[in-house]
């Protein structure tokens, strides 16, 4: 995967290049990032040149607070959380439980997002930070086409190093003041530990058989999964 510099946007990268069953993940087809509201004119121009479709996984409250339409690419809003982002901090939800919540409660929308990727146009998936909702969506899409598991986990874990340190310090201080008894709030906002994604993918295998089987259970067809493979995987050799 390649970290990309896009003016005003954090945590942008192309997941292409990682090994996958039958080849490797194609460059330029699946990008991920944090929210786009701060994109500079040059950053927006770069995104227009790279992607044809943007999938925004934020809820309505987040979109209203930080609107981020990039003129040019089609944009699809697919809020993944049932409940506001704020509610997860108020209930001190762990990353593990948050991701399980996404799998159990938002399977239909995860499939909708992955169907857009399967269409084969260069697609950018983002939420607010580009860590949790984006991380789960991208990990499922990559795992469903046989991407190397450790590479998928490494891509997820990379987010933590891509978030501006000053942003993390500011948010950690705010959350500690707002929720002084919380155990998980800072991790929820700033961390992407590899063991969390490793355990999530193991749990998918244990409960559904594989990432592809999870997506089938949520309504994705074999033809759509084949299209996803064709879109994301390029043969090598």
User: What mean pLDDT comes out for the span 33-37?
Assistant: 96
pLDDT tens string 86-125: 667 667 789 999 999 999 999 999 999 999 999 999 999 9
State the average pLDDT for the chain.
91
Q: Is the pLDDT of residue 1 over 80?
A: no
**C-alpha span between 206 and 229 (Å, rounded):** 22
The two tokens of residue 169 are 């310090």
Q: Is the pLDDT of residue 126 over 80?
A: yes
User: What mean pLDDT comes out for the span 179-183?
Assistant: 69
Model's pTM, two decimal places? 0.93
pLDDT tens string 184-209: 777 777 889 999 999 999 999 999 99
User: What pLDDT band is residue 83 in, cutting at 50, 70 and 90?
Assistant: low
Domain boundaries, the chain: 2-231
**What integer pLDDT is reported at residue 93 of this predicted model?**
84
**C-alpha span between 237 and 155 (Å, rounded):** 24
User: What pLDDT band is residue 80 in, cutting at 50, 70 and 90?
Assistant: very high
Q: Using a pLDDT cut of 70, give the percent of the chain over it.
A: 92
Please identify, in words, the CATH class of the domain defined by 2-231. Answer: alpha beta
Q: Is the pLDDT of residue 25 over 80?
A: yes
Asked if 136 contacts 57 with a C-beta cutoff of 8 angstroms, the reply is no
User: What mean pLDDT comes out for the span 63-68?
Assistant: 91
**What integer pLDDT is reported at residue 205 of this predicted model?**
98
Q: Is the pLDDT of residue 27 over 90?
A: yes
pLDDT tens string 130-148: 999 999 999 999 999 999 9
21-30, 67-76, 210-219: the lowest-pLDDT one: 67-76
């Amino acid at each position: 995967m390649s970290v990309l510099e896009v003016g005003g946007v954090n945590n942008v990268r192309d997941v292409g290049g990682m090994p996958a069953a039958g080849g490797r993940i194609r460059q330029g087809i699946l990008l991920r990032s944090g929210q786009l509201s701060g994109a500079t004119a040059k950053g927006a121009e770069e995104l227009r040149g790279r992607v044809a479709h943007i999938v925004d996984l934020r809820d309505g409250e987040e979109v209203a607070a930080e609107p981020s339409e990039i003129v040019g690419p089609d944009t699809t809003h697919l809020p993944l959380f049932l409940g506001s982002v704020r509610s997860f901090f108020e209930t001190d939800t762990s990353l593990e439980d948050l991701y399980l919540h996404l799998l159990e409660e938002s399977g239909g929308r995860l499939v909708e997002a992955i169907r857009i990727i399967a269409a084969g146009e260069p697609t950018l998936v983002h939420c607010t930070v580009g860590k949790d909702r984006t991380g789960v969506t991208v990990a499922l899409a990559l795992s469903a086409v046989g991407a190397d598991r450790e590479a998928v986990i490494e891509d997820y874990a990379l987010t933590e190093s891509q978030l501006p340190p000053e942003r993390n310090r500011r948010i950690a201080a705010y959350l500690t003041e707002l929720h002084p008894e919380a155990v998980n709030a800072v991790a929820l906002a700033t961390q992407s530990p590899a063991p969390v994604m490793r355990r999530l993918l193991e749990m998918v295998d244990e409960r559904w058989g594989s990432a592809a089987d999870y997506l089938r259970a949520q309504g994705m067809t074999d033809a759509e999964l084949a299209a996803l493979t064709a879109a994301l995987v390029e043969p090598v050799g």
